[in-house]
Chains A and B, each alone.
Chain A
Amino acid sequence: MKLILRLAPPLAFAAALLAIWFVVAELRLVSPVFLPSPGRAFGDLAARFADGSIWEPVGATVQRMILGWFLASLAGVALGAMIGLTPLARDLIEPTLEFLRPLPASAMIPVAILFFGLSENMAVSVIAFGSIWPVLMSSIFGFGAVRVRLQEVAALLGLSRAEFLAKIAIPSAMPDILAGMRSGLAVSLILAVVTEMQASLPGLGRDIFLAQRSFRSGELYAGLVMLGLIGVIINHGLQIAENRLLRWRPQRS
């Protein structure tokens, strides 16, 4: 009952937006070539679920995005630990990062195509390049903020460098790492779609692009809805993982 009460207002808001979409489409305020009715968009989506044809592009997009994001997170945490924990690495690496960071990941697509061709590797490397920044930046901050007191405790207990990393530095930086990974995931979905459109790799991005080119607006919007759903589901999953990993933190009220 409580859950229903909590979910009612946001659901009502979404329903209101759908209703506006419905009215605009039904009254033909916008040509159906550009804006199908919600019924058609959701109908097309339902049809693709029914015949199972949705799963292949969804699988391809999600796989690409997760792989790129995972590699970016791994590299971001490792690099972030190095920079955050050792002043020498910070002085050495940070200026270069400041140069690379503002480069739009989409500008790296031509470079990646030169190196990898129109391949899966190209897409994954672009996704990784773009989604490394949030996790790298927040890891640098997180590892840099490990309390001095805890470093002293580690020294007094004779912990090795590896033990310090595993038992103190990584858990201490974990809230920042996870926050960065969550932002990185949003970027990786964007770039998965962009690379698919650019390189015509199988996936939701290419489907949307092709639907637009052949004026199948219902299919186009079905793809968009599906992308939104993917974002919601993955973000929710991460939120659950985060709550579990950080259950030691005082509950935010």
Chain B
Amino acid sequence: MTLASTKGDRHGADGAPVAVSLRKVGVTYSPIGRPVLEDISFDVREGEFLSIVGPSGCGKTTLLRMLAGLLRPTTGDALFNGAPIIGPSRERAIVFQDYTNALLPWRTVSGNVALALEKTVPVKAERDAKVAALVAKMGLAHAADRFPTQLSGGMQQRVQIARCLSQEPRIMLMDEPFGALDAMTRQTLQDELLALAAERRTTTVFITHDLEEAIYLGDRVTVLSANPGRIAEVIEVDLPRPRNQLTTREDPRFLAHRHHLFGLLQGH
């Protein structure tokens, strides 16, 4: 996989527009400590669904937090639409794994979604309509007035996704969003997410430790190795869309990718 592209260029080597480009990025938390991430270079193409997979402790979350602007790279350049990422921005939404902590427990489902819109949509009627539409879209219409503690994990995560969608981001950064959910709920949410991504064409970076999830969702999968986190490989997922929980997962190409990535992760 070629990753060449000069700094500031908004197009990758293959000519596709680039949303994010990382050049030799390294992150070290303490001046004397070991680096968490080292020599990370890759592009995220405009509108693509990029999965990042790696063993625990490989710095996946650090990478995502850096993309969100919650921390700065120690070395190298991180660019979003050609400009350095220097802090958080509404253009880059992040979906945290711990939805319980990321929601406001004193606000209802609608109130949580509205939080992202109170600044940008000051007219209440207009905002309420937007909120209601998003809440309905995420299948939460019946729970609009409930508080997060009254919802299941899957529904709470749907609320967080709705809040992120409401800020109309250019890119969605998702940090193992379905990691804490049961298998059935996870599959449902995977398919809902794919439908949303197909409809909105929002660039998505999706972090997971689940190989199959990475392949099932992604246009490409970036594999990180641990200690320090480096890119082991980037693969193109040549599976047709829309994907299907049964047929996609039984596709020989899916199994081949799985086989390949499994070996890669075991090897490190």
Chain A interface (Cβ < 8 Å from any Cβ of B): 147, 149-150, 152-153, 155-159, 163, 167-168, 171-172, 174, 246, 248-250
Contact = CB atoms under 8 A, between A and B. Distances in A.
Contact of B105 (A157, A158, A248): A248
Contacts of B118: 163, 167
B107 A156 contact: no
B106 A158 contact: no
A152 B147 contact: no
B107 A248 contact: yes
B89 A158 contact: yes
A250 B104 CA distance: 14
A191 to B, nearest CB: 32
Given A171-B106, A248-B105, A149 B115 contact: no
A92 B92 CA distance: 37
B147 A149 contact: no
Contacts of A172: 106
Nearest to B164: A156
Interface of chain A, main secondary structure: helix
A167 B111 CA distance: 11
Contact of A149 (B69, B101, B107, B150): B101
A167 to B, nearest CB: 7
A158 B90 contact: yes
Nearest to A158: B90
Interface of B: 68-70, 87-90, 92-94, 96, 98, 101-102, 104-108, 115-116, 118-119, 147, 149-150, 167
A163 B119 CA distance: 10
Contacts of A171: 104, 106-107
Contacts of B89: 156, 158
Contact of A248 (B102, B116, B119, B149): B149
Given A157-B116, A158-B90, A171-B104, A250 B167 contact: no
A210 B150 CA distance: 56
Contacts of A147: 101
The CB with the most chain B CB atoms within 10 A, among A156, A167, A248, is that of: A156
B90 A153 contact: no
B93 A156 contact: yes
Contacts of B70: 152, 155-156
B88 A248 contact: no
Contact of B88 (A150, A156, A168, A249): A156
B115 A150 contact: no
6 contacts: A150-B102, A155-B88, A167-B115, A174-B106, A248-B106, A248-B147
Contacts of A152: 70, 88, 94
A249 B94 contact: no
A156 B160 CA distance: 13
A172 B98 CA distance: 17
Most central of A147, A158, A248 by chain B CB within 10 Å: A248
